[in-house]
Amino acid sequence: MFRNIGIVSAVSSKTIEKAVLEVVSIISEKGCKAYLDNRIVLNSASANMEVLPVAALSEKCDLIISIGGDGTLLQAATLTYPHEVALLGINLGRLGFLADLPPDNLKVDLGAILEGDIVTEERSVLGCEVVRSEKVIATCHGLNDVVIQKWNSARLITLNTYVNDKFLHSQRGDGMIVATPTGSTAYAMSGGGPILDPEIDALALVPICPHTLTNRPIVISDKAMIEIRIATERDDQARLTCDGNSIHDLLRGDKIFISRKAKAIKLAHPSKNNHYATLRAKLNWALDPC
């Protein structure tokens, strides 16, 4: 099913090296070619392995395996977008909402995936532009969320939010999270936002510590154009981040435009993957009585 498989990781360690070498061995056994992220440092190598920059992996490979946690997979998604290559995560991190393949039985589980025991799903991606004095000064895209938050001041920031050119609210607080269904179980959930089913075509707007307690999270169509205007009394109080990466400092008068991008990111899972079972396991919900 797959011929060229990329392997990415954001860090190098003995644990990562052990997992990488095991994955390369499994890939070789299945008659596939392995391409390794050039940021990974190995003390040993395989003849069936070629080293490439991460951005080049998406052009060469038909499957990319992320070894680490959800942050590693998010980084891989950012670097490989908009190439439509499937991403599979092996979880060596903490929760593993996205990187959901456990490392303890890779020979069987990954072997089955490489033989076709796999499902893929498309996850929506946010695109963002920062406009200052009628000029675009920064752009970004993210699988999880775009966040506007206070930065180098303990003071509240003021944000004016519009949806499809219609005024929604003016909010004083610590910021705003705009999350995809994928990101609804990340920072947005910590901020009291709703968990969105990945199949729902929606976005969540989640205020961060709003001063007005009735200013609650709201779910809107992912076809909407969101505009957030920085209305702070002082400059250098806010910053834009995307999937946890710092993008740009924001000044009074800046406009941030956020919308769903046309292309999605393709995530791969074992065929037995169950979104609700993942929620139960990762969030320690009550077990299925059956």
User: In this structure, what DSSP letter does residue 64 have?
Assistant: E
Beta-carbon contacts of 106 under 8 Å, excluding residues fewer than 6 positions away, are: 19, 22, 23, 26, 90
Cα–chain center distance at 164 = 25
Q: List Cβ neighbours of 25 (8 Å cut-off, separation of 6 or more).
A: 46
Q: Is 70 a catalytic residue?
A: yes
Which region, left, alpha or beta, applies to residue 246 given φ > 0 means left and ψ of -120 to 50 means alpha? beta
* Separation of CA 157 from chain center: 26
Residue 73 to residue 54: CA distance in whole angstroms: 12
Task: Kindly list the distances between the CA atom of residue 221 and the CA atoms of 146, 178, 224, 258, in Å, as whole numbers in the listed order.
Answer: 16, 12, 6, 12
- Give the active site residue among 37, 70, 145, 243: 70
Instruction: Tell me the catalytic residues.
Output: 70
